Amino acid sequence: MTHPVLLRLSLLFLVLILPALAAAAPPAAPPAANADQQQVEAEKQEKANAEKKKKAEAEKQKKVDTEKQKQTIADIRNLGTALFSWLTDQVEATVAEQEAEKKAGNGTTNEAPPRSSAEDTGQKTFDIQDNPLVSRDDLEDFLVPKYIAAIPETDAWGNPLEVRLNTDNLMAKTVMSIRSPGRKGYYAGDEYKAEGFDPTDFDQDIVWIDGFFARWPQEGAPGNKPRPIPPPVNQ
């Protein structure tokens, strides 16, 4: 009796219980669909990681270029201060000599024309080639060591600084200039309108003319007033 009963119960389980369990179970996803979904998720993660890395590298480079821009501004400012101090001494010596000649009755003095002011500079367009280039050797003869300890050769990006000085007419309205091509390494042109530029645009030329920055990094640029150089920095 035992075996027939167990056999009947087993058959009843197979007929009634197993179909119900199979119907309640969720359908299995096709293997190919799972693989495709995993690949899509992996590609999304890889793209997100690449964008994150790219953004981090851009922020790092921005910090580096910001420091280089600040260093370039400082070097131009210090050299400009030295040049302007030298020019002031030269003009004063020339005026004193002319005054002495006038008192001796040997000639008449020539009044110096009005020099550029910050207000004039803010309304002008400058042609950098109005004044000739000056060599590094001449700059060292003029400025070192009395006005500056050493002449900076390059900007912070490694590009040569361009210095111009009209030694033939130190009493002209415009006499000197210093400029850097910025990160890009070449000048945008030779004519400049006096105004600031976006500080994050590291490819912009930085230009100092006759005591004022005519092209300089400035928040909220473009500006409309040049920046005067500060008092001389102790060397």
Report the pLDDT averaged over residues 141-151: 97
Structure confidence at residue 24 as a pLDDT band (50, 70, 90): low
- Whether the CB-CB separation of 211 and 219 falls below 8 Å is answered with no
User: 232 pLDDT band (50/70/90 cuts)?
Assistant: very low
pTM here is: 0.72
Q: Is the peptide bond before 31 cis (omega within 30 degrees of 0)?
A: no
Instruction: Dig out the tokens for 34 from the structure.
Output: 């799972």
Note whether 66 and 199 are within 8 A (CB).
yes
pLDDT per position as a tens digit, 198-214: 999 999 999 999 999 99
Q: Give the least confident one: 10-19, 28-37, 120-129, 197-206.
A: 10-19
* Structure confidence at residue 28 (pLDDT): 60
- For the chain, what is the largest distance between any 2 Cα atoms, rounded to a whole number of angstroms? 153
| pLDDT reading at 139 higher than 60 | yes
Per-residue pLDDT at 229: 47
Type of residue numbered 151? I
Average pLDDT, the chain: 83
